[in-house]
Amino acid sequence: MTLKNLESTKAEEWLRQLIGEWALGIVMKTIERRVITGCGEVIAKETDAGITCEINGHIEEYEDYYQNDLWTFDSTDGTIHLFRLSSDGQIHDHMGRWIGDGFTIELYWRGTFEDQEQEERITAKWVAKNQFEIKENNYSKGKLLLTTDYVFKRKSTT
């Protein structure tokens, strides 16, 4: 088995671990040092295109939040993609790779939203068999605007 095949198998194995039902905890930290919390539920299923995650969230001071993610692995160049469609109208293709520890993926997106230059840096990490965490940092013109921590705890597999 070649190194590329090992990377492909590892990435696909990581993505399949997402399948199931998850409880979601959310903590947002603004540039004004405000902390906003929330919670939600996630259902992840395997499709022909990859792993879809439907996220229904409730965040303090915000309307209910909906997001649909599609996680895929591109074996031709070894990249992992997180395609995201959110209820506030944002559509992003975060691209990234595994980092050295084998449990962590770093993803990146850069583009515009509401006529402003923005970028997102995401770190996704398995911390236990039934728990993974995502840290998302949002920037505009190089300035950190928002940090969001997501904690996913498995409720069941489907």
Over residues 5-42, the pLDDT tens digits come to: 445 567 778 788 999 999 999 999 999 999 999 999 99
Task: Tell whether the model's pLDDT for residue 3 goes beyond 60.
Answer: no
- DSSP secondary structure letter of residue 3: H
Query: Per residue in 78-92, is it b (16+ CB within 10 Å) or e — as a string?
Result: eebbbbbeeeeeeeb
- Kindly indicate the confidence band of residue 87, based on its pLDDT and cuts at 50, 70 and 90: confident
Q: Provide the residue ranges of all domains of the chain, joining segments of one domain with +.
A: 3-156
Across the range 86-109, mean pLDDT stands at: 87
Give the rounded percent of residues in the chain with a pLDDT score beyond 90: 60
CATH architecture of 3-156: Beta Barrel (2.40)
| Measured distance CA(3)–CA(17) in Å, rounded | 21
Which residue type occupies 13? E
Which two three-digit tokens encode residue 119? 């970028």
Query: What 3-state class would DSSP assign to 95?
Result: strand
Which residues contact residue 77 at a Cβ distance below 8 angstroms, ignoring those fewer than 6 apart?
none
Indicate the pTM of the whole model. 0.88
